[in-house]
Amino acid sequence: MINEQVEEVSIESKDSLQSYEQSLLYSNEEKHSQQVLETIKQEYSQVQAAYLE
């Protein structure tokens, strides 16, 4: 009886840990895509400036 309850709890904690890891991954990907976007903007403005000269 007690063993079954322990298994249920461990499954729940695994699920919450996985969702936590996924949210961390998601926020890291979001930061990364922001960085990529900034880099593209910078390169684009450099190309634009070079083209206008």
pLDDT digits (tens, 9 = 90+) for 1-53: 566 666 666 667 778 878 888 888 888 888 888 898 999 999 999 988 888 87
Tell me the C-alpha distance between 47 and 20, whole Å: 41
Question: 11-20 contacts: CB < 8 A, separation 24 or more?
Answer: none
pTM for the whole thing? 0.50
The pLDDT assigned to 39 comes to: 93
Tell me the C-alpha distance between 8 and 1, whole Å: 11
Give Dmax over CA atoms of the chain in angstroms: 79
Calculate Rg over the CA atoms of the chain. Answer: 23
